[in-house]
Amino acid sequence: MSLLVVGSVALDSVETPFGAREDVLGGSATYFAAASSLLTRVSVVGVVGDDFPLSELEFLGRRGVDLEGLEKVRGRTFRWKGKYGFDLNAAETLDTQLNVFEHFQPKLGAQARKAERIFLGNIDPELQLRVLDQVERPQLVCADTMNFWISGKRATLLKLLPRVDVLMVNDSEVRQLAGESNVIKAARAAQQMGARNVVVKRGEYGALLVDGAQSFYAPAFPLADVVDPTGAGDSFAGGFLGLLDRLSSSDPSALRQATVMGATIASFTVEQFSIDRLRDLTLVEVRKRFAAFRHLTHFEELPDHVA
C-alpha cells in the first residue's frame, strides 16, 4: 500500500450559521490526509510558512502520515476565508491569500516517487503534470480541479486528463469542462477527453461515479446536524483513495465501495468545524456508518402480481 497526496495545507477562517472559527486547519492535503489515514498510510507533499503551527499536525503523525514532504519556508501560510449561508452547498469566498503557496513547486522524495496511488489536489494543472513526471509507475492517479483552472488553464488540463484514472469534480466544474448542462453527458464527455473514470461530488445530494459505460450513485448520509461543509470534498477523496489503497484494487466493485467510503467519511467531516471531527474519528465508527449506507437505498423487488 502506498498513497501520496500533493496539495495545499492552509489556515482557514470560516463562518456558517452555526458559528465561526479563525485560522483553523484547512487545505486539500490536510483534509485528504486526515481522512485517508484512517484506512492506509499516506504521504503529504505541500508547503507552509514559518507562521504555521506544526503541532496541529501531530495527530497525523501519530496515525502514521508521512510529513517529510511538507516544506516549511519563510513567509505566511496559504489562507482562505469563507462564509456559508443556510445553503451549505455554496461558500462565499471573502479572502484568499496564496502567500507561500503561490510559488509552490512540488518536489517528491525517493519514497514518494514510488507511490502506487496519487491524489493531485486542486492545484495548477501544470504542477499536477510535473508531479506525474516525477513518479515512477503509479497504479492509479486521481485529480481534482476547479473552475479557475478549467477556464484559465484549459489546454494544460486537457493534456493532464489522459493521464488521469479518476477525475474528481463537482457539478459545476464537470459542466463547465464539458460544455454540457446534463451531469451524465458532461461526465461522459470528460471520459472522451481522456479521464477513464469520473466522480462528480454533489454535496448534500451525494456522489455520482461514471465508471466505463456504467454509472453508480451514492447518496449523502442523512444528518440532522451539519456545522461546516469545508473540506468535505477532499475528505471524500481521502476516503475514496484510502479504501482503494487498502484494498489494492480499482476494479468496478472496489470503485463503488470507495465512492460509498468517500461519502461516509465526508459525512463525519461536516459535523464539526475544520478537521475537528476527523481528529478523533475511529475506523470502528467509519465501518458502522458505512454499513448503515447499505440500508439507505435497500428495498425489495415488486411482487409478480404488480405489473
How high is the pLDDT of residue 306? 85
Q: Which residue has the cell 450513485?
A: 217
The model's pTM is 0.95
How high is the pLDDT of residue 1? 66
Kindly report the number of other CB atoms within 10 A of residue 81's CB atom: 17
- For residue 130, the domain's CATH number is 3.40.1190.20
Kindly state the cell numbers that stand for 77: 501560510
Q: Are strands 197-201 and 207-211 parallel, antiparallel or unpaired?
A: antiparallel
Domain with 190, as residue range(s), is: 3-296
Structural domain includes residue 83: yes
Structural domain includes residue 306: no
Structural domain includes residue 93: yes
Structural domain includes residue 302: no
Structural domain includes residue 282: yes
How high is the pLDDT of residue 307? 67
| Rounded Cα–Cα distance for residues 276 and 259 (Å) | 23
Could you read off the pLDDT tens digit of each residue along the chain, which spans 307 residues? 699 999 999 999 999 999 999 999 999 999 999 999 999 999 999 999 999 999 999 999 999 999 999 999 999 999 999 999 988 887 889 999 999 999 999 999 998 999 999 999 999 999 999 999 999 989 999 999 999 999 999 999 999 999 999 999 999 999 999 999 999 999 999 999 999 999 999 988 899 999 987 899 999 999 988 999 999 999 999 999 999 999 999 999 999 999 999 999 999 999 999 999 999 999 999 999 999 998 888 888 899 888 6
What would the DSSP string read from start to end of 35-91? HHTTTS-EEEEEEEETTS-GGGGHHHHHTT-EEEEEEEESSPPPEEEEEE-S-TT-E
Structural domain includes residue 304: no
Structural domain includes residue 305: no
Q: Are strands 3-6 and 42-49 parallel, antiparallel or unpaired?
A: parallel
How high is the pLDDT of residue 212? 80
Structural domain includes residue 307: no
Sheet holding 66-73, edge to edge: 66-73, 42-49, 3-6, 117-120, 140-144, 166-170, 197-201, 207-211, 214-218
Number of domains composing the chain: 1
